[in-house]
Amino acid sequence: MSTKEIVLPLVIVQIVLLILFCVFGRYAPPGGDEKYPLFQDVHVMIFIGFGFLMTFLKRYGYSSVGFTLLLGSFIIQWAILCQGFFELNADYKIEIGIESIYRADIAAASVLISVGVVLGRTTVPHLLIMGLIEIVVFSANSYLGTKVLQVADAGGSIFVHAFGAYFGLAVSYVLNRKKKNKEGSSETAASLAEANYTSDLFAMIGTVFLYIYWPSFNAIELEGSQKSMAIVNTYLSLAACTITAFAASMLLTHEKKFDMVHVQNSTLAGGVAVGAAANLMIQPLGAVAIGILAGVISVYGYSRLSPLIEKRLGIPDTCGVHNLHGMPGILSGLFSVLMAGIATEELYGADLYSVYPARDATTGRNAGEQAGYQLFGLAITIAVAVGTGLLTGKLKILEF
Amino acid sequence: MSTKEIVLPLVIVQIVLLILFCVFGRYAPPGGDEKYPLFQDVHVMIFIGFGFLMTFLKRYGYSSVGFTLLLGSFIIQWAILCQGFFELNADYKIEIGIESIYRADIAAASVLISVGVVLGRTTVPHLLIMGLIEIVVFSANSYLGTKVLQVADAGGSIFVHAFGAYFGLAVSYVLNRKKKNKEGSSETAASLAEANYTSDLFAMIGTVFLYIYWPSFNAIELEGSQKSMAIVNTYLSLAACTITAFAASMLLTHEKKFDMVHVQNSTLAGGVAVGAAANLMIQPLGAVAIGILAGVISVYGYSRLSPLIEKRLGIPDTCGVHNLHGMPGILSGLFSVLMAGIATEELYGADLYSVYPARDATTGRNAGEQAGYQLFGLAITIAVAVGTGLLTGKLKILEF
Amino acid sequence: MSTKEIVLPLVIVQIVLLILFCVFGRYAPPGGDEKYPLFQDVHVMIFIGFGFLMTFLKRYGYSSVGFTLLLGSFIIQWAILCQGFFELNADYKIEIGIESIYRADIAAASVLISVGVVLGRTTVPHLLIMGLIEIVVFSANSYLGTKVLQVADAGGSIFVHAFGAYFGLAVSYVLNRKKKNKEGSSETAASLAEANYTSDLFAMIGTVFLYIYWPSFNAIELEGSQKSMAIVNTYLSLAACTITAFAASMLLTHEKKFDMVHVQNSTLAGGVAVGAAANLMIQPLGAVAIGILAGVISVYGYSRLSPLIEKRLGIPDTCGVHNLHGMPGILSGLFSVLMAGIATEELYGADLYSVYPARDATTGRNAGEQAGYQLFGLAITIAVAVGTGLLTGKLKILEF
């Protein structure tokens, strides 16, 4: 999996985490237990879902699951601390409870998404460094977006999926140029994948658990009727996306079989695409429509765009993250702009102010302003992700 | 997995679903959140349980999981609509909430059971058509049975398992005759199964998740003490059935090994057999006893009856659905007749009227009448399943 | 998997269970439903977690999952009865409800731990007999420890993990001597393991599900703030342990790869080690620290101690249970002694008396006394486990 060089970084990292937990970590006051079953669903998505989904890379098969366990275990500790620094209590302590751990898992999703872009073309220590940096930026950007700008993004399509995808793509761009300059050539994403019957079935464990528990991912921050709506919307969007992805896969491939990459990935684009609007009044129709759109875009991306992006822009994307998290994340963000623009108290009742807290009397935003903030939040997230991703890739320590 | 012919049906189907959701779909009022964790258990059963259980067919290995994802995604959307048409609100809209989605998953179980009968001997488009028709009949029959006739069937042994099994067997009968007439011979169920070490382990993922979450399947419609009883009864019935199935497997096979088909399937017959009586006062003894009986019947079915049914009646049954869902479903139905006949207020207290709503003052059914309705519900379900299954198999479009 | 000899024992066992459920089994009064989601998590750990973790033994691959299903199904019925005999109601009946079934699953964990020691070196009937005896002793020892001595052990590190490990090691010691005397040689644990790419991935299914749901295992007996603390502590301990186990694995092996056995097992030692202190005021720092310690001890055990214990003491340990459950269990027990000794009302508030019921006014234990009881509980558990394990191994019926 990697050379002995990794021992020292791991030891240092875990000792630093220990010290930080000693200085800053305290238990949160009781509460949040009702979120625990949904947290467990998300936990399965992170460690089983992402872990097994990436076994499609046969020669990294085992490592993808073991590696997800290792990287995830580091990221969740680090994310508890980073996210906690933005919400220190009066004694300058981080209060750790159920909310901290499910938010740490969500942060881990963002890193695992970025990892999917460069997987197989870099080493474990480099991925740890990338994750270390990414979580800092992720936490700051999420805080800025959700707390300062008050952008509504229940399922994290903007701050988790789009962020993770574009951060990873930016890192991949720089790494690929470094490699070309050094070796004169670079390994293509396609050359890494050597799926077979067995590895495809293992990957389907990941796909199906992600499909099953995605409604929990999109609903975990919500309560009451918004929670039920997010569950129903995600359920419908994924179902519609799956049918569409299978059909599009057939249309866009020359063979007479479904392309396994589409089956394993594009079927899930509906979960991303409905995310930022999962708790909005999109109605079952809206959920199904966005699922269909996501399925088409994602399969099109895998079969047409990704090869172009690799060839023309020099950005290899091992797992096709751009097609599962990138474009569907932007789609979701744009949809959330539209929905914010037409949100009225008539449509939402009193829920309007829990969906869009900035629209209450104190801040007094109107629908158009909220739509503007949604768009601004999306744009700044992509800008931050690309900018910090490029810088991360340029770090001397990441000389591959 | 299939030819390009499937693209158009998939596109049409998803567009029609979109239009129907547009015209009829609305959010349900808040509520039902407490069912969400049990729904997720059932969701795992449908997509992981059924999907992986069917990987025992080595040459369909991958497709069984991917296909379950595709078919399931279609069926759950269609089932929400079909079941909703029987409960339109005052504005002629279907109210979609947590209840709709777990009921859609249960409906999908019934189709996946039927699919198990004909799996490997038909094409994906044909299975979609079969599912399309089956859900209409399933929804009508369930409505008739549970709402009109007020038959008690907490775990769906009658309306889901027996229905799905006999519908599938009827379809299989017709398809097999069509094939024989055309080709002069037909592929036997046995010839399709080419299990090996790896595919057996994948199948065990399905088996074990079905075993684990079956108590949730039988308890999801229940509340309070009935819910706990259904959980305990299903847990005990499955455990007793497993021991029995292993023993029976040894007795009835000539080899010195357990037959993997029995291990993967018959161990689960206890979940089906206890279903219709899961919330009844059968006591732990009753749960264990019915589990033992189910294990014996199921293994006997696999090793003795199924080959006869294929040879004499010309009904191949790829997954041995008759032995896991058919006979145990009938057993459960008959057991529910018996239990209804001896149900008194003394035994059940006030719960009697939530178990058997028709026995309250308004309808005024007595124990014997309720037993009669249980028997009638079982008989009519099998008749409807067989009748509509035969008609479905005869459809010109299903010329295999 | 085994010869026909197993049929009769299985039939007898299931009939005896049936009779015992008939005579003693009744439904518990309503209640305990809020534990059901956590029970389901534990249920996955037992049947998926343990089942797949043991597939690393390639040649026992399939059987490990099927066998876990068989043995587990027997043990959970038997454990409901054995544990129930210690809490008969006024009518001398065992009241069976949600609490009974999650406690039965926990008891099954203890037997599966012991099985891990002797796996691959004994037959199915012998393992059934071992489990039969072990559950009796387990139930008595747990009752003595938690109810009579009032030892606090929320996550079962002492009464489940340490007990199961040392019982199994004692059985293994005797069996190994019997075998040597008979055959002149004995099969080493190492010779049984023939892991490959595929079996390693299957084993990771077990590892990752155990990792994911371990917080539920440690929290299932708890309520309110203790429950949240147990969840957070277990989550952190496992994460820290995983990082440490990967680093230690690199340091202690000569190859340039992580040792899969460490990745699959030692990563989980943090769950065991934090168990007895999971609901104590150890703070996030304490959880991380104990996770680190557990990771080091466990990997050291696998790479250095286990070969010595096999060679010098003649105790083969197929799954390295001593390193995952034995030593981390003792570590947890000792940690619980320390924590009990410093527990004050100032630190715990009113929770002190729910954490340590014996410290209330009636019994009036002080901190030092409670610490003494914790140590005594740990010592007596190991003594009982070793003693009864030796006797079990010596049984004539277990002539291998």
| CA-based torsion, C223, C226, C229, C233: positive or negative | negative
Residue A156, pLDDT > 90, answer: yes
Tell me the pLDDT of chain B averaged across its residues. 92
- For residue C72, the distance in angstroms to the closest alpha carbon of chain B comes to 8
Phi, psi of C3 (to 5 degrees): -90, 180
The answer to whether A158 and A377 are in contact (CB under 8 A) is yes
Please state, for a pLDDT cut of 70, what percent of chain A lies above it: 94
> The tokens of C32 are what?
């305990």
Q: Do B69 and A242 touch (CB under 8 A)?
A: yes
- For residue A19, the distance in angstroms to the closest alpha carbon of chain C comes to 8
What would the mean pLDDT of B124-139 be, rounded to a whole number? Answer: 94
160-199 in C: which are within 8 Å (CB) of B? 198
> Which chain C residue shows the shortest CA-CA distance from B232?
C97
State the count of interchain CB pairs (< 8 A) between B and C. Answer: 136
The answer to whether C152 and C374 are in contact (CB under 8 A) is yes
Interface test with B, best of A196, A235, A290, A296 (most B CBs within 10 A): A235
Of A84-88, A295-299, C89-93, C176-180, give the lowest mean pLDDT range. C176-180
Please state, for a pLDDT cut of 70, what percent of chain C lies above it: 94
CA distance B138 to A120: 48
CA distance B387 to B397: 18
> Which residues does residue A95 pair with via DSSP β-bridges, in sequence order?
A26
What is residue A357's DSSP assignment?
A: G
Residue C186, pLDDT > 90, answer: no
Q: Which chains touch B (3 or more CB pairs under 8 A)?
A: A, C
Between the alpha carbon of residue C168 and those of residues C67, C188, C196, C227, the distances in Å are 17, 16, 26, 30
For chain B, the C-alpha Rg in angstroms (whole number) is 20
The closest CB to that of B244, out of C14, C51, C65, belongs to C14
Q: Do C70 and B216 touch (CB under 8 A)?
A: no
What pLDDT, on the 0 to 100 scale, is given for residue B181? 82
Interface test with C, best of A40, A80, A112 (most C CBs within 10 A): A40
C28 touches chain B (CB under 8 A): yes
What pLDDT, on the 0 to 100 scale, is given for residue C1? 41
Please state, for a pLDDT cut of 70, what percent of chain B lies above it: 94
CA distance B167 to B155: 18
What pLDDT, on the 0 to 100 scale, is given for residue A24? 97
> The tokens of C134 are what?
């072990």
What would the mean pLDDT of A359-371 be, rounded to a whole number? Answer: 90
Q: Do C25 and B247 touch (CB under 8 A)?
A: no
The answer to whether A371 and A277 are in contact (CB under 8 A) is no
Between the alpha carbon of residue C361 and those of residues C154, C250, C348, C358, C365, the distances in Å are 22, 52, 16, 8, 8
CA distance B225 to C76: 21
The answer to whether B14 and A292 are in contact (CB under 8 A) is yes
The helix/strand/coil state of C25 is strand
The closest CB to that of C41, out of A33, A40, A66, belongs to A40
222-241 in C: which are within 8 Å (CB) of A? 224-225, 227-229, 231-232, 235-236, 238-240
Q: Do A208 and B65 touch (CB under 8 A)?
A: yes
Nearest to A250 by CA among B74, B76, B9, B400: B9
What pLDDT, on the 0 to 100 scale, is given for residue A31? 85
The closest CB to that of A201, out of B4, B14, B62, belongs to B62
CA distance A219 to C330: 40
- Residue B1: which pLDDT band, with cuts at 50, 70 and 90? very low
Of A260-274, B48-62, B378-392, give the lowest mean pLDDT range. B48-62
> The tokens of B294 are what?
């189910």
Of C102-111, C183-192, C326-335, give the lowest mean pLDDT range. C183-192
CA dihedral A278, A282, A287, A290 (to 10 degrees): -100
Residue C348, pLDDT > 70, answer: yes
Between A330 and A59, whose confidence is greater?
A: A330
Q: Which chains touch C (3 or more CB pairs under 8 A)?
A: A, B
37-96 in C: which are within 8 Å (CB) of B? 37, 40, 43-44, 47-48, 51, 55, 61-62, 65-66, 69-70, 72-74, 76-77, 96
The closest CB to that of C7, out of B224, B227, B250, belongs to B250
DSSP for A103-165, written as a single string: HHHHHHHHHHHHHHHHTTSS-HHHHHHHHHHHHHHHHHHHIIIIIIS----TT-IIIIIIHHH
Nearest to C268 by CA among A83, B323, A162, A66: A66
> Which residues does residue C209 pair with via DSSP β-bridges, in sequence order?
none
Please state, for a pLDDT cut of 90, what percent of chain B lies above it: 80
> The tokens of B95 are what?
């109210």
Q: Do B212 and C47 touch (CB under 8 A)?
A: yes
For C36, other C-beta atoms within 10 Å of its C-beta total 23
A12 touches chain C (CB under 8 A): no
Complex ipTM tops 0.90:
yes
Between the alpha carbon of residue B25 and those of residues B82, B93, B244, B247, the distances in Å are 12, 6, 47, 50
Q: Do A250 and B6 touch (CB under 8 A)?
A: yes
Q: Tokens 């190859």 map to which residue?
A: C255
Amino acid identity at A266: S
Interface test with B, best of A43, A53, A231, A351 (most B CBs within 10 A): A231
pTM: predicted TM-score of the whole model, two decimal places? 0.96
Q: Are strands B94-96 and B25-27 parallel, antiparallel or unpaired?
A: parallel
